[in-house]
Amino acid sequence: MSILSGKHILLGVTGSIAGYKAADLASKLAQAGAQVDVILTGAGEKFVTPLTFQSVTGRRAYTDVDLWGKEAHVLHVSFGKTADLLVIAPCTADTMAKLANGFADNLLTVTALAAQCPLIIAPAMDGGMFGHPATQENLAKLKERGAIIVGPAEGHLASGLTGTGRMVEPAEIFGHIRIALGRNGKLAGKKVVVTAGGTQESIDPVRVITNRSSGKQGYALAQAVLDSGADVCLITAPTALTPPVGARVVHVKSVQEMLDAVMKESADVLIMAAAGADFRPVQAAKDKLKKRDGIPQVELEAAPDILGTVADSRSEKKRFQIVAGFAAESRNLLENASEKLKSKKLDFIVANNISAEDAGFAVETNRVTLLFANGLKETLPLMSKIEVAEKIIEHISKLLE
Ligand code: CTP
């Protein structure tokens, strides 16, 4: 289940041209299963209409007219009580000043005063306004009170100038919303290292030996770790994916680089979802191999086994409390997986049959069996890689108990 499903999010939209991006944010939140109530300020309404938000959230959007309506005296209080999160995006310098000083002269600021939930602010204004000492003072005040400030970003501004004041993109705000909602999750306070993607072993400056791993399962795991309130370090081989907001990302190419990166970390949990190379060229050619020189003979050697190295160092140093691996197999799935579970001294292994069309590399779904060191086994039905990731995190949190 998505961290957003069933969550009550209040989205405040103030007077900035970035308001059109807030519609995208509202849509993303609604699609993820959140109940999104939008409150527009008078200036916000000048840029985007309540209808825009109603169309993407399926719920009525509120304006200052509602401050004076029949239910006005309870509306802001009930919003303040039931909301899981108040997000103001875009937030103008004016609204920030009101929030910092406790003003309550419109439905949004009245609600903000009544709200008992975390507050995320995504400022949007001209660079000069953002840099003004008054705005900076307000920002500092809000931060001190626990508000989460996201952005602003640097770039082209509506004034035609370039500077710091652009609202950050909806996807980034969405990521911060997930982090805020997961803050007290079942892995709060823990640190998890996740590896992802297929390593690349150089043959020459142009060519590599790699594998079919897309990194999808590893990236889904990194997101699930963040959703459960832990810090995540994502050690990733090259992929086409965007890392989740909030992950500390270490980019590597070869299995040796991945091994070095893993051994630098010390965390509660290591999840090796990456498909590391088993073989690599003994030596990469310094210059591009030319066709005219004939078919090259590439001599291979064994690549370091990351989990094997971790297993050797586990007893002497408590580097990782829990270590989980994956077993990508095309035959004898459980037999091979259980052998790897033992030889790599894992707490559990996620066995997946890569010969199935709806599981394994590059597809969105996976079909896995979890094998535990204590002999227990759980076969999961076909599910999305996101759901598999959530299941794995559930098991990790139980093992950590
Ligand atoms: N792995 C690793 N280092 C490698 C290769 C793989 O630590 N050089 C990890 C993977 O991240 C995975 C587990 O080992 O968690 C099993 O990987 P897999 O490719 O299924 O098995 P191998 O150990 O490579 O064995 P085989 O090639 O014989 O299947």
Share of residues in the chain with pLDDT > 90 (%): 84
Q: What is the largest CA-CA distance in the chain?
A: 85
Distance CA 225, CA 227 (A): 5
CA of 357 to the centre of ligand 1 (A): 21
Instruction: Give 376's DSSP letter.
Output: -
Residue 234 has pLDDT above 90, yes or no: yes
pLDDT of res. 316: 58
Instruction: Give 336's DSSP letter.
Output: H
Domain range annotation of the chain = 8-181, 191-400
Is there an atom of ligand 1 within 6 Å of 218 CB? no
pLDDT of res. 72: 66
Is there an atom of ligand 1 within 6 Å of 204 CB? no
Rounded (to 5) percent helix, strand, coil in the chain: 35, 25, 40
Q: Which of 210, 234, 310, 326 to mutate to test the pocket of ligand 1 (most atoms within 8 A of CB)?
A: 326
DSSP track, 55-90: HHHSS--B-GGGGSSTTHHHHHHHHHHH-SEEEEEE
pLDDT of res. 317: 59
Distance CA 273, CA 198 (A): 9
Residue indicated by tokens 């069309």? 357
Q: Atom 21, ligand 1: which residue's CA is nearest?
A: 327
Is there an atom of ligand 1 within 6 Å of 272 CB? yes
Phi, psi of 257 (to 5 degrees): -65, -40
Options 3.30.230.10, 3.30.565.10, 3.40.50.10300, 3.30.70.20; which CATH number does 191-400 get? 3.40.50.10300
As beta bridge partners, residue 320 has 267
- Mean of per-residue pLDDT scores for the chain: 94
pLDDT band at 312 (very low <50, low <70, confident <90, very high): confident
Q: Is 211 a catalytic residue?
A: yes
Residue 333 has pLDDT above 80, yes or no: yes
Is there an atom of ligand 1 within 6 Å of 56 CB? no
Is there an atom of ligand 1 within 6 Å of 215 CB? no
Q: Which CATH class is domain 8-181?
A: alpha beta
Question: Quick check: 25 and 178 in contact, CB under 8 A?
Answer: no
∠ CA 391-197-331, rounded to 5°: 70
Distance CA 232, CA 267 (A): 9
Question: Quick check: 213 and 361 in contact, CB under 8 A?
Answer: yes
Is there an atom of ligand 1 within 6 Å of 192 CB? no
The active-site residue, picked from 101, 138, 184, 211, is: 211
Common-topology check for domains 8-181 and 191-400? yes
pLDDT of res. 369: 94
pLDDT band at 156 (very low <50, low <70, confident <90, very high): confident
Q: Atom 16, ligand 1: which residue's CA is nearest?
A: 327
Residue 124 has pLDDT above 70, yes or no: yes
pLDDT one-digit tens code per residue, 23-66: 999 999 999 999 999 999 999 999 999 999 999 999 999 999 88
Share of residues in the chain with pLDDT > 70 (%): 98
pLDDT one-digit tens code per residue, 239-278: 999 999 999 999 999 999 999 999 999 999 999 999 999 9
Determine the residue type at 31.
Q
The reported pTM is 0.93
